[in-house]
Amino acid sequence: MFKQERRLGAIAALVVAFLSGPALANPFIIENQEPEQQFTSVFALRYWYGFDSTRKDLYGLTRDTLNSRLTYDGMQTHSLELFGRVDHISGLFWKGYVGGGLLTQGHLQDEDFPPGITPYSSTNSTLQNQAIGYISTDFGGALLRGSTFRVDAFVGYFYFHQRMKAFGCQQTASNPLVCAGGVPDSVAAIVEDDTWQALRVGLNADVPLIDRFRLNLEGAWLPYVWFSGTDNHLLRPDLPIPIREDGHGWGYQLEAILSYHIDDALSVGVGGRYWHMQSSGYSHFEDVGGVAQPLDFKLDIYGVFLQGSYRFPPF
Q: Give the 3-state secondary structure of 227-254.
A: EEEEEEECCCCCCCCCEEEEEEEEEEEE
Q: Give this prediction's pTM.
A: 0.86
Name the strand (E) or helix (H) holding 17: helix 2-19
Query: Per-residue pLDDT for 10 more than 60?
Result: no
78-98 pLDDT tens trace: 999 999 999 999 999 999 999
Name the strand (E) or helix (H) holding 3: helix 2-19
Q: Where are the domains of the chain?
A: 43-311
Q: 77 in helix, strand or coil?
A: strand
Question: Which residues touch 48 (CB under 8 Å, ≥6 apart)?
Answer: 77, 78, 79, 80, 81, 99, 101, 273, 303, 304, 305
- What gap in Å lies between CA 198 and CA 274, rounded to an integer? 15
Q: What is the CATH number of domain 43-311?
A: 2.40.128.90
- Beta bridge partners of residue 111, listed in sequence order: 69, 122
Query: Per-residue pLDDT for 29 more than 70?
Result: no
- What gap in Å lies between CA 112 and CA 123, rounded to an integer? 9
Lowest mean pLDDT among 32-41, 142-151, 194-203, 293-302: 32-41
Kindly report the number of other CB atoms within 10 A of residue 236's CB atom.
11
User: Which has the closest alpha carbon to 107: 132, 70, 77?
Assistant: 70
Q: What are phi and psi of 103, to 5 degrees?
A: -105, 120
Pair 68, 97: CB distance under 8 Å: no
179-190 pLDDT tens trace: 988 999 999 999
93-149 pLDDT tens trace: 999 999 999 999 999 999 999 998 999 999 999 999 899 999 999 999 999 998 889
Confidence of residue 314 (pLDDT cuts 50, 70, 90): confident
pLDDT of residue 19: 43
Name the strand (E) or helix (H) holding 18: helix 2-19
| Angstrom distances, CA of residue 34 to CA of 38, 40, 173, 305, 315 | 12, 16, 76, 39, 15
Q: What are phi and psi of 11, to 5 degrees?
A: -65, -40
Buried b (16+ CB within 10 A) or exposed e, 103-134: beebebbbbbbeeeeeeebbbebbbbebebeb
Q: First vs last Cα of the chain: how many Å apart?
A: 64
User: Which has the closest alpha carbon to 116: 54, 60, 194?
Assistant: 60
- The larger pLDDT score, comparing residue 313 to residue 166, is at 166
At position 217, the amino acid (one-letter code) is L
- Burial class from Cβ neighbours inside 10 Å (0-12, 13-18, 19+) for residue 219 reads middle
